Chains A and B, each alone.
Chain A
Amino acid sequence: MTTKKGIEVSIAASIAAQLARVEVVAAYPITPQTHIVEHLSELVANGELEAVYINVESEHSAMSACCGASAAGARTFTSTSAQGLELMHEILFIASGMRLPIVMATVNRALSSPLSIWGDHSDIMAARDTGWIMLFCENGQEVVDSIIMAFKIAENRNVLLPVMVNLDGFSLSHVIEPIEFPSQKDVDSFLPPYKPLYSLHPDKPVTMGAYAMPELYTEAKYAQETALINSKKVIIDVMAEFGERFGRHYKPVETYNTENADFAFICLGSINENISTAIDELKSNGKEAGLIKLRLFRPFPKDELLAVLKDKKRIAIVERAMPGGAANSPLYNEIASLIYANKLHITLENYIVGLGGRDVHPEDFIDVFDMKIAAKKDNNNYNVIGVRE
């Protein structure tokens, strides 16, 4: 018998960090991340979570404090959004380069300017190549489960890399929905205390993040990249173990109705729910469309994607970020590169939706399927659904 609780996803995310017995939280509040760190500070202040909550003056300091805490051997958690993520940017590379298993809930939000506090993926797409493992969530249950799994992935000795759990600002973070929490006992058994390989301690000095001469830098980065690529095996194993223990099964690439269709959408995050609703509607009218959901974005799950892409004829890549002058939006470019390298013949379409919190409707995806959203006649290779020109 499972009991689901009606709870705001942000509060649920902080409870997941509590269940993971985080030891240090260093964070700076920013909408729409605020409820996560507010609740964590309450849990610490009330003695319900035995952790140090470090108040800092900026996100740059938050991530710096997280690096220090993690290097000293503490299980470390933080959360941010939008401009906060960009202010952390340089330290994101330090966290991954120093192989620090920090977990961060990134509550995805549009970047200024113009100022927008609402959700899209422009923040994470600007930080996608920082060497972090990146998971995306479709609903609140996935957020809770992903945060718990993230620590187990990050702290694996074959990985030792930071993990970002992405959840859409407001449309996920501020929604009250049914969520099932694992018991503390079960989480403890799944996620034992973090035992660092090396840690900073005055009695036993070590150097971390040292200077690398040209003779060494390439090898260090190659080793880091190799660890990131190889982390996929651990991610798959952790997801499988989580499924066995808790009965909720996750994979790097998940699909919906792809076996029945030669057309599929590819998307990240909570909009996948709207797309799956559109797919049901299409099915009821005798039309078959599939959905490919990337749960894992970094390392890019090439093999898993190829396995599902290989027999498709037409793919619509749906993204919540502008290309920023690139040929297409970020995910499109990666899918195109994968398809070219593997000599697949698939028609690719690129749709940009949901910028700055604009609602996206299942009907929009039905129109995409029915090719009602015509390709633009200018030199852009993508369509911005619903844009007024």
Chain B
Amino acid sequence: MIEVRFHGRGGQGAVTLAELIAQAAIKSNMYAQAFPSFGPERRGAPVQAFLRVSDRPIRLRAKVYHPNNVVILDATLLGVVNPSEGLKEGGFVVINSNKSEDELKNLFPGCNIAVVDATHIAKEELGVPITNTTMLGALVKASNIVDIEMLEEPVRERFGVVAQRNINAYKRAFNETKIIKA
């Protein structure tokens, strides 16, 4: 079972990101579970979402405390929450950032890091700095949690006429994500 925790701000689509991966996994005949950090929805406040993907039925109803990977949609959260808390050994911090490799290594000592400037890609591909679909590509690159081709159908179902732009964004992020091993 792979467990992922997502950190974003309310309105950035962290829950949708978790949901799209879950749908792609379910379409691939795997089992998956995606859910928000339960609570009132507050735009701009730090929020979390959770994802489990497994080849066997998932019988667990609790938050993810020891994720295999964490995904950080918004680098301004770094001073507010500790995104790598509980991260399993060998796991990845997947982060939207334009910081240098050294800066990131200092921020997440001992962690594997996958970094992409998703805000830049989202602005160019979508015209808005909403990074959730772009970060799909970064997470898949770091974790291989689903086959990237399997994302297309859930993204098309969810985004309709603007789906292609989102697909372009996550494919570009997949190619541009830089892997920094611990």
Contact = CB atoms under 8 A, between A and B. Distances in A.
Interface of A: 4-6, 8, 31-32, 117-118, 168, 170-172, 174-178, 270-271, 273-274, 276-277, 357, 359-362
Interface stretch (B29-37, B118-126, B167-175): B29-37
Interface of B: 18-19, 22-23, 25-27, 31-36, 38-40, 58-63, 154
B38 A174 contact: yes
**Chain A CB within 10 A, most for which of B33, B39, B62:** B62
Given A118-B38, A174-B35, A271 B61 contact: yes
Nearest to A358: B62
Nearest to A280: B59
B160 to A, nearest CB: 15
| B contact patch SS | mixed
Contact of B38 (A8, A271, A274, A357): A357
A265 to B, nearest CB: 14
B32 A177 contact: yes
B166 to A, nearest CB: 17
Contact of B23 (A168, A176, A270, A359): A176
Contacts of A31: 40
Nearest to A279: B59
Q: 6 closest A-B pairs (Cβ-Cβ)?
A: A6-B23, A170-B38, A6-B26, A273-B59, A359-B62, A176-B34
A96 B95 CA distance: 55
Nearest to B51: A176
19 contacts: A5-B26, A6-B32, A32-B38, A118-B38, A170-B38, A171-B35, A174-B38, A175-B33, A175-B34, A177-B31, A178-B26, A178-B32, A271-B61, A273-B59, A273-B60, A359-B62, A359-B63, A360-B62, A361-B62
Pick the most buried of B31, B38, B60: most chain A CB atoms within 10 A of its CB: B38
B19 A6 contact: yes
B59 A276 contact: yes
A270 B32 contact: no
Nearest to B39: A117
Nearest to B35: A175
A174 B59 CA distance: 16
B161 to A, nearest CB: 18
Given A117-B40, A274-B61, A6 B35 contact: no
B60 A274 contact: yes
Contacts of A273: 59-61
A357 B61 CA distance: 11
Nearest to A171: B61
A5 B38 CA distance: 22
A6 B25 contact: yes
Contacts of B22: 6, 176-177
B41 to A, nearest CB: 10
A244 to B, nearest CB: 23
Contacts of B32: 6, 176-178
